[in-house]
Amino acid sequence: MDRVVPRLVVCVALLGAACGGSNAGGSGAGGGNAGAMAAAGRGGTTGSGGAPVGGVGGGGATGAGGATGVAGTGGGAGGAGGGAGAGGGATGMAGLSGAGGAAGVGGTTASCAPIAPRDPNAFVHPGGLHKRSDMDRMRYLVAAGVEPWAAAYQKLRADSLASPTYAVRGDPTWTQVSRDGGVHASEFESDTNAAYLQALMWIVTQDTRHAQKCVEIFNAWKNLTEVTGGGTAPLNAGLYAYKLVEAAEIIKSTYSGWAAADVQAFKAMLVYPGLSRTAVPASLSDTNGTFYWRIYNGDPGRHGNQDMIAWRAMIVMGVFLDDRIMFDRALRYFKGQTHRTDDLPYPSGPSPSGTQLDDNQYFTTYQVTRQSTLPDYGYNGVLGNYVWENGQCQEASRDQQHAFFGLGIAAGIADVAWNQGDGVWNTLDNRLLKGFEFMARYNVSYIASFPDQTAAWEPAGSEVIVRTDRTGRWRSKAINPHFESDLVGISRGDFPGKRPVFEQALAHFKTRMGRPAAETLWTQRGRDVALAMSGEEPRGFSLDHPGFGGLTFQRPPLCAGDPITGFAANGLPVFGVHVLPGIVRAVDYDHFPVSGEGRTYHDLSPGNAGAQYRADDVDIACGAEGQYVLSSVEPGEWLVYTVHVPTAGNYRIDVRYAAAVAGGAIRIGFGGSDVTGDVALPASGGAWRTTTVATSVALKAGVQALRVSIAGAASAFDLDSIVVGGG
Ligand SMILES: [Ca+2]
Ligand SMILES: [Ca+2]
């Protein structure tokens, strides 16, 4: 993840007075008098000597000196040209009599606006399934008529629950809802699905009728005090809460028409009768309590889908409530970790099997007696307990419908975590992908034939894991094409139009992570077969899935990361798609929660040599104008920026750069196509210069990847921005 470099700078005056940069533009050049970095120009590169005061002009300005420089004889190399400071301090060699290197960061601080370190308790908002950049992507692609987003949007628009004239069915006088056909169940289910779809419509259309419809729904249910139902309490509450809260997170973060008092009432409703980290509320009972206290322990006695749906609801509830303990409670459990010490423990265990109950060729069930000798035991909702090493789902021996639901829910947890900077999507050697591949192969091959799989795949022998689950009540023996113990009906292959889970998994593993096609083969086939048979992903069964992944999750090719325009006061990235014509700052390449190397950038030196702005391998220094700039560029390096072109046409592309020496070159591409070739950037004497690298470049409309590639000589220039203009 981007960890913003702490900007606290201790300016230590060592022998050579390495603290530079008291003046903007850097007179800093600590190094003392006898030859710190070069006076002007790229001190480090040119090496030596120079006037006592560095940085008048290029040296400090470009910030390059320090990175590669060798100090003179006089003093610490650290200062390395004032403005440049950071690089110099970090890597410059000390002068003969100076050890100033380490302190050389001084120069930078004086001129570049500080970036706060990331507040570990702050959340990205909107930050459930969809961030602001994701919303931009949906809206822009639909507006530009790009497929499949346009077709997927039409599918959403055609859903009656997405209509601006949808009649809200809840009532603010109601205090009770009971799932599975109980009190107000049908009204709640309709409104909950509608809330999420209306929120998506609001994202795409910006028509306030949709946002207002969401508010009406939230207000209709804000007085609940009792959630019960036909399933277990965690299943009832988790399934009922997660989509509603996803919608609430979108609306609260993007629409000003939800009154603060109503937001507060809705929040209080979610955790009624009140939040505690030390004790369960005394007034909690089967008839008094809503969502949080139904899900807070997961569902330790049941199949993984029921355990996970509780954590799925909780993780987005944590985001919506700005509650880090709640968010962590869900995520840590899902990862198989222990509870936070400032929170209630998770259910203990183990839960050994007792007397055998049912038995058939697919599974055996047992009575169990829960024990409490092992704290934080971790049941079927722990990722590794739900998706096994071979990709087999814990409940694939039960039926396929629940396995689809469970995997979809796991992906939902992973996506919310990703949006908040966590990479659980990829843990256990891409365990989730293995899960999707196993399930897809088993189900897709049942209804479609492929050259390499002409008959339905029947996993056998070592392809199947025989294992008792974490509850002790269920032992898997074979993959079950039926539905539980109804060994006549078939649940296998019944996914098109009903289980819209494939777009989300593909968006992550194929586009974000760039996994080889062989690894996403069956997930891709699942998506393609579902598309061929029932069109773009719809809402799907009941409340089980968010659906409409062709609109919401799919990403244009090469748009692995999420575009940002900077960092907020809490240190979090500010997400948003760059709109062209416009200026894209070179340092604002796309954000990626785990290493973006090979995905959002390619950088040839470990670490950020300039130690500024971001904590990736990309090298960033502070420019003389107080702006962060791309530095230490090397041929072969590249960066990606997700941009939107509202109107197809011919555009001019300029870059703003500073080059102390000649020999550098740059190349620009859009959507995977090179549009400029290598363009030489002449020496500018270290001064910032804007130059045109291409004219009349034909750009398609829509969201696409702008890629900047470095060519020519290494470290020849620093880059401020890419400027796309008319003509
Ligand atoms: Ca680097
Ligand atoms: Ca570099």
pLDDT tens digit sequence for 158-205? 999 999 999 999 999 999 999 999 999 999 999 999 999 999 999 999
Residues with CB under 5 Å of ion ligand 2 are: 603, 619, 632
Average the pLDDT over each of 4-13, 149-158, 304-313, 483-492 and give the range with the smallest value: 4-13
Q: Which residue type is seen at 357?
A: L
Determine the Cα–Cα distance for residues 718 and 609; give it in Å rounded to an integer: 13
Do 356 and 469 touch, CB atoms closer than 8 A? no
CA of 101 relative to ligand 1 center, distance in Å: 18
Cα–Cα distance for residue pair 318/334, rounded to 1 Å: 14
Measuring CA to CA, which residue among 438, 439, 473, 223 is closest to residue 349? 473
The span from the CA of 190 to the CA of 56, in Å, is 67
Tell me how far the alpha carbon of residue 642 lies from the centroid of ligand 1, in angstroms: 21
DSSP 337: P
Please, which residues have CB within 8 angstroms of residue 549's CB and are 6 or more apart in sequence?
Answer: 152, 500, 501, 502, 503, 504, 507, 537
Residue whose pair of structure tokens reads 């590249």 in the numeric block: 638
Ligand 2 centroid to 58 CA: how many Å?
A: 19
Query: What's CA 512's distance to the chain center, in Å?
Result: 9
* Cα 594 to ligand 2 centroid, rounded to whole Å: 18
Handedness of CA 177, 182, 187, 189 (dihedral sign): positive
Averaged pLDDT of the chain: 87
Q: Is 477 helix (H, G, I), strand (E, B) or coil?
A: coil
**Sign of the alpha-carbon torsion through 269, 270, 271, 272:** positive
Ligand 2 centre distance from Cα of residue 693 (Å): 21
Please report the pLDDT score of residue 553 as a whole number: 98
Distance 169 CA to ligand 1 centre (A): 56
| Predicted confidence (pLDDT) per residue in 88-143, tens digit | 322 233 222 222 333 333 333 448 988 899 999 999 999 999 999 999 999 999 99
| Beta carbons of 668 and 705 less than 8 angstroms apart | no
Ligand nearest to the CA of 710: 2
**What would the two tokens of residue 260 be?**
């603060």
Nearest-angstrom CA–CA distance, 387 and 438: 10
Query: What is the Å distance from ligand 2's center to 602 Cα?
Result: 8
Residue range 229-259, pLDDT digits in tens: 999 999 999 999 999 999 999 999 999 999 9
Rounded CA gap, 63 and 131, in Å?
Answer: 34
Distance 611 CA to ligand 2 centre (A): 12
Of the pLDDT bands very low, low, confident and very high (cuts 50, 70, 90), residue 1 is very low
Mean pLDDT across the stretch 635-656? 98
- Give me Rg for the CA atoms of the chain: 28
CB 163 within 8 A of CB 214: no
Residue 26 has pLDDT above 50, yes or no: no
Summarised one tens digit per residue, pLDDT across range 248-300 is 999 999 999 999 999 999 999 999 999 999 999 999 999 999 999 999 999 99
pLDDT of 512 higher than 90: yes
Task: Count CB-CB contacts under 10 A for residue 523.
Answer: 27
Which amino acid would we find at residue 320?
F
pLDDT of residue 71 exceeding 80, the answer is no
Q: DSSP 3-state assignment of 217?
A: helix
Q: Tell me the sheet residues that pair with 583.
A: 723
Q: Would you state the pLDDT for residue 317? A: 99
Joined together, the tokens standing for residue 502 give 């494939």
- How many angstroms is it from 276 CA to the middle of ligand 2? 48
Placement of tokens 């034909």 in the chain = 698
Pick from 563, 575, 712, 571: nearest CA to 643: 563
The residue ranges of DSSP E strands in 350-461, in sequence order, are 353-359, 363-368
The alpha carbon of 600 and the centre of ligand 1 are apart by a number of angstroms equal to: 14
pLDDT bin (cut points 50, 70, 90) of residue 75 is very low
* Ligand 1 centre distance from Cα of residue 86 (Å): 13
